[in-house]
Copies of this chain bind each other. A is one copy, B any other.
Amino acid sequence: MSGRLFVIGLGPGNANQVTPEASQAVAEAEFFYGYKPYVDRLDLKPHQTRIASDNREELARAKEAIVKASEGHAVAVVSGGDPGVFAMAAAVCEAIEDGPAEWRDIDLQIVPGVTAMLAVAARAGAPLGHDFCAISLSDNLKPWDLIELRLLAAAGAGFVVALYNPISKSRPWQLGRAFEALAAVLPGTTPVIFGRAAGRPDERINVAALAFARAEMADMATCVIIGSPETRVIKRDGKPALIYTPRSATGRRE
């Protein structure tokens, strides 16, 4: 087993937010596995090969990449953002655990990246400035009841909540239901940030109060950040408001 397997985070989409470490790993690999929009971002040389696949095929993609690496190749699995946050690193680990024993010997290097919530937060101010959590809203791999339980536990305890995979064609109602559930435990004035393509030319950052937040404000490439009762909004003339969560917290509700 002489191959290498990189699992690379390409950041939120702006080439200036790809770390030099990720760029070096891309330069070293020969075969690139990933969800099509991510492998399409790569600027490859003639000897490098893209193997794009659909999303929801993470485990099959991970296995295919490991097999290729086990044949002695330098292989990369690429994710947008950070590969460890609702992305390919867990799928690769899962494949290794379930696969033949020799897969455990593979030379595996996971390269972190700027995950979407950090890029969105940076454009909005500092909404993640205090305790926060990240929840995938996809109920493809976990029951909806568990998602709702986690939303309520987190918001009820004062965490800011970042939602990944908020909505898709096959999951149209979940985000609206999440807003309804959260409205029962959070003030209607709580700011909700809809961040899409942060740092890219087509960036779109919108803010709505929770009482007016609607699922249609998001698409599958949006990261949604819901403030805590302590999150604040600073209005600015001629500029978007700054949203931030103070470093200090009392835990008291206003």
Chain A residues close to B by CB (< 8 Å): 9, 11, 14-21, 24, 58, 82-87, 89-94, 96-97, 104-105, 108, 110-115, 118-119, 121-123, 125-136, 141-143, 145-146, 149-150, 153-154, 156-159, 199, 232, 234-237, 239, 242, 244-251
Contact = CB atoms under 8 A, between A and B. Distances in A.
Number of copies: 2
Nearest to A146: B251
A115 B126 CA distance: 14
Given A85-B118, A133-B132, A90 B246 contact: yes
B112 A118 contact: yes
B247 A58 contact: yes
12 contacts: A14-B21, A16-B20, A84-B118, A89-B129, A90-B245, A104-B234, A104-B237, A111-B122, A113-B114, A131-B133, A133-B133, A149-B251
Q: Is the interface of A mostly helix, strand, loop or mixed?
A: mixed
A232 to B, nearest CB: 7
Contact of A125 (B93, B130, B133, B150): B93
Contacts of A136: 130-131
A86 B134 contact: no
B121 A84 contact: yes
Given A85-B118, A96-B234, A104-B237, A91 B247 contact: yes
Contacts of A128: 84-85, 134
A93 B131 contact: no
A25 B97 CA distance: 42
B244 A89 contact: yes
Contact of A129 (B16, B93, B142, B236): B93
Contacts of A14: 21
Contacts of A239: 104-105
A244 B90 contact: yes
Given A16-B21, A82-B114, A114-B114, 16 more contacts: A17-B21, A19-B114, A84-B127, A89-B244, A90-B130, A91-B247, A92-B126, A94-B247, A105-B237, A110-B126, A113-B114, A142-B248, A146-B250, A149-B251, A150-B157, A153-B157
